[in-house]
């Protein structure tokens, strides 16, 4: 600025007398950043018509940016033309000057675009427009943009910490689920590593004995028999004596009643019998005992009436 060096600070500036002494000695001026524009105006480094001149200059730059050639360096320039500074414009002018350096005999550029940008840069530095524009943008950056960027940075740091915490939790859960999977596979007698589907299909021959054990548990449960007998008797009684019921009454829980009517001796013999060899995975075989149970449950008609006691229910179902 007229041969003087400016040093901007974010702390309060030195007194005016100290600044005058520094100026007299040719030392850099220590000026607070928020007072740079004011200092330039008060020391008449900017013309009184600076705001109007700067507005006109930005309008000319906007028009010149729209007429730039399609160079790869200028792909984002048109989108950011409202936020370009003097230094950005100088960078654009340097690129244009490097690509078209030819000049005429009087020293002007032969390319009209380069010549126009050369004129704009001279007008930008006239009356220190570039200093006033830079001072305003400096104040805006420090007062508004930097605090906003600090907030964004702090938010991103918190998000990174949260993502790291979630990553640790996911890894811990993954290890826990892997151990649980290994335990479950061990209980089922499979490895669960190479081909889990084939190993599960190979366990199909064990299903008949498992189902037989389940059926035997149901048959031996006397409390279940009493509960089923009471429920069927209650539902049948309500269905018969209801005012809106006509025709035959279907007994409830027919399949469960038929299961309870199975002979425990038959189930014990089946459990004691040797199991058939394992069938190929593609053609799993069904147990003859299970087929017999399913066939009998399909062919036997459900009882039309149910006595009140559990013993009579068993006897009637066995007869059927």
CA dihedral 103, 107, 111, 116 (to 10 degrees): 160
Spatial separation of the C-alpha atoms in residues 222 and 217, rounded to whole Å:
10
* The pLDDT of residue 131: 86
Spatial separation of the C-alpha atoms in residues 99 and 108, rounded to whole Å:
15
Spatial separation of the C-alpha atoms in residues 317 and 262, rounded to whole Å:
9
The number of angstroms, rounded, from the C-alpha of 107 to the middle of its chain's C-alpha atoms is: 61
Paired strand residues for 103? 109
Neighbours of 318 (CB within 10 A): 12
* The pLDDT of residue 203: 81
* Tokens coding 268: 């014990």
* The pLDDT of residue 107: 80
* The pLDDT of residue 189: 80
Write out pLDDT tens, residues 172-207.
999 999 999 988 888 888 887 778 888 888 888 888
* Tokens coding 267: 């189930």
* The pLDDT of residue 20: 53
* Positions of the chain with pLDDT under 70: 1-29, 78, 242-249, 264, 266-320
* The pLDDT of residue 268: 66
């Amino acid at each position: 600025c007229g041969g003087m060096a400016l040093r901007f600070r974010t702390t309060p500036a030195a007194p005016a007398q100290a600044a005058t002494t520094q100026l007299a000695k040719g030392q850099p001026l220590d000026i607070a950043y928020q007072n740079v524009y004011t200092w330039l105006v008060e020391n008449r480094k900017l013309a009184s018509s600076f705001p109007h001149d700067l507005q006109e200059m930005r309008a000319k730059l906007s028009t010149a940016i729209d007429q730039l050639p399609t160079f790869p360096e200028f792909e984002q320039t048109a989108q950011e033309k409202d936020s370009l500074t003097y230094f950005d414009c100088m960078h654009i002018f340097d690129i244009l000057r490097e690509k078209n350096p030819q000049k005429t005999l009087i020293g002007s550029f032969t390319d009209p675009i380069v010549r126009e940008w050369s004129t704009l840069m001279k007008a930008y530095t006239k009356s220190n427009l570039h200093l006033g524009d830079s001072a305003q943008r400096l104040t805006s950056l420090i007062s508004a943009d930097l605090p906003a960027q600090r907030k964004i940075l702090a938010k991103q740091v918190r998000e990174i910490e949260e993502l790291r915490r979630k990553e640790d939790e996911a890894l811990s859960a993954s290890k826990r689920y892997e151990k649980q999977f290994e335990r479950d596979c061990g209980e089922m007698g499979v490895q669960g590593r190479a081909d889990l589907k084939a190993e599960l299909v190979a366990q199909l021959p064990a299903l008949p004995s498992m189902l037989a054990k389940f059926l035997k548990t149901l048959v031996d449960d006397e409390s279940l028999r009493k509960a089923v007998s009471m429920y069927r008797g209650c539902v049948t009684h309500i269905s018969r004596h209801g005012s809106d019921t006509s025709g035959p009454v279907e007994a409830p829980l027919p399949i469960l009643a038929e299961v309870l009517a199975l002979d425990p001796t038959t189930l014990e013999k089946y459990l004691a019998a040797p199991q058939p060899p394992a069938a190929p995975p593609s053609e799993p075989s069904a147990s003859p005992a299970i087929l017999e149970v399913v066939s009998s449950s399909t062919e036997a008609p459900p009882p039309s009436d149910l006595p009140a006691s559990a013993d009579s229910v068993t006897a009637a179902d066995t007869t059927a």
